Amino acid sequence: MIRLTKALNGWGTPDFKDKLKQEIEQLGVKDLPLQQGLSSSSYAMDDKLSVVIMNVAEQADFIRAKVGIFYTGIIAGCNCADDPTPADEQSEYCEVQVDINKSTAETNVILLAE
């Protein structure tokens, strides 16, 4: 389970969006639906995440944010010893919904359909 504690602690302050952005950028493929969000490659990389907070709304029990994620993916080849084609990085983008529980900081991330 993902916990975005720093973002929750920053809720209601001018630093909230920056804290949320930083915490999401620390996550990777195992926590974010980057693989499912691929559109032009076959394997998601999580070493170059860039996050944009699009909007944030407070609900009764949670904070909901719509977030855009820029990242890279590769088209995996056969990786044969004589394969001259290097792994070529492709730019990828997806949008997710982030729900942070206001009591526990437990966070659900859902890929949004384009």
Q: Spell out the domain ranges in the chain.
A: 2-111
Burial of 54 (0-12, 13-18, 19+ CB in 10 A): exposed
The helix/strand/coil state of 105 is coil
Per-residue pLDDT averaged across 9-14, rounded? 96
Whether 95 and 69 have beta carbons less than 8 Å apart is answered as yes
Q: pLDDT tens digits for 14-59?
A: 999 999 999 999 999 999 999 999 999 999 998 889 999 999 999 9
Return the pLDDT at 75: 85
Read off the pTM.
0.89
Closest Cα to residue 49, out of 20, 16, 17, 26? 26
Q: pLDDT tens digits for 68-114?
A: 999 999 987 656 666 666 667 899 999 999 999 999 999 999 999 86
- Dump the DSSP string for 34-60: TTTT-SS-SEEEEEEEEEEEEEEEE-S
Task: State the average pLDDT for the chain.
Answer: 92
The structural architecture, per CATH, of the domain 2-111 is Roll (3.10)
